[in-house]
């Protein structure tokens, strides 16, 4: 059984997000990563 939805066209926003993800993975866009959940929470809760 296939999980592919036939006839579905992703939205422009979804396509842009996928492109951004590919660019991050290829190193074209710098993105911050976390290995410490507390540091992630701190950054998410900060006003920066």
* Per-residue model confidence (pLDDT) at position 2: 60
3-state secondary structure of 32: coil
Distance separating alpha carbons of residues 26 and 41, to the nearest angstrom: 26
Supply φ then ψ for residue 22, to 5 degrees: -60, -40
Write the pLDDT tens digit of every residue in 1-48. 566 777 888 999 999 999 999 999 999 999 989 999 999 999 999 976
* Per-residue model confidence (pLDDT) at position 38: 96
């Amino acid at each position: 059984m296939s999980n592919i939805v036939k006839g579905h066209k992703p939205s422009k926003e979804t396509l842009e997000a996928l492109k951004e993800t590919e660019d991050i993975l290829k190193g074209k866009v710098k993105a911050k990563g976390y290995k410490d959940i507390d540091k992630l929470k701190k950054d998410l809760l900060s006003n920066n």
